[in-house]
Amino acid sequence: MNRFTDNLTDPDFWLRLVYTLLFALAWQVVELLLAVILVLQIGFRLFSGRANPELAGFGNSLSQYAWQMGRYVTGASEVKPWPFLEWPAADAEWQPRPPAGPVTVEPVAPATAPQTAAPTQADPVAEVVQPEPPLVHPLPEDEQDEPGAEDRPAS
């Protein structure tokens, strides 16, 4: 059998599809609840001058739940969110994971104007761009030869 047929007959595929559809539906409910929290918090800020801390905590845990659902339905995580995990805490904060290995950045060659002659192959890594030296303003001619002129403040 080929891979498509194997996947099509795999019960794990169908179970994942059902969970994904249910979490996509739950996502819509969470989105609506976050919009309601937004409107309520605007009202609290208008009338009391500050956000409601309980509502902010619920909004935080709800947004953490949405983050967990988004990771599951997009395939970024195999961990199913609530009700399979505990509900996120009201003071939970998202913490990015450190990179698994060293971070490398490919060098980018500077953009150049089109050449009319035959181009030469230059190694962009071997080129070292020297920074411009700082601009130095010369002293006026009447102060150049006087001893201690560099110690006096400019007038």
Predicted confidence (pLDDT) per residue in 56-103, tens digit: 999 999 999 999 999 999 998 999 999 888 998 888 777 666 667 776
Q: How confident is the model at residue 130, as a pLDDT?
A: 58
- Asked whether residue 93 is assigned to any structural domain, the reply reads no
Residue 87 lies in a domain: no
Domain that holds residue 63: 3-73
Q: Among all chains, which residue has been given the structure tokens 């208008």?
A: 46
Residue 62 lies in a domain: yes
Omega of the bond leading into 83 within 30 degrees of 0 (cis): yes
Task: From residue 31, give the alpha-carbon distance in Å to each of 36, 51, 72, 90.
Answer: 9, 20, 16, 17
Residue 52: per-residue pLDDT: 96
Model's pTM, two decimal places?
Answer: 0.59
pLDDT digits (tens, 9 = 90+) for 94-144: 766 666 777 666 776 776 655 555 555 555 555 555 555 555 555 556 655
For 55-72, letters b (16+ CB in 10 Å) and e give ebeebbbbbbbbebbbeb
H helices, E strands: number in the chain? 4, 0
Residue 85 falls inside a structural domain: no
pLDDT at 1 over 70: no
Residue 13: inside a domain, yes or no? Answer: yes
Q: Is residue 133 part of a domain?
A: no
Give, in degrees to the nearest 5, the angle at Cα 17 between 12 and 22. 125
pLDDT of residue 147: 55
User: Region 23-46: what's the mean pLDDT?
Assistant: 96
What pLDDT, on a 0 to 100 scale, did the predictor assign at position 140?
Answer: 58
Q: What is the average pLDDT across 25-31?
A: 96
Number of domains in the chain: 1
pLDDT at 106: 74
Tokens of 44: 């609290």
Length of the chain: 155
Mean of per-residue pLDDT scores for the chain: 79
The reply to whether 127 falls in a domain is no
Rounded (10°) angle between helices 53-73 and 11-48:
160
The residue type of 30 is: V
Domain presence at residue 107: no
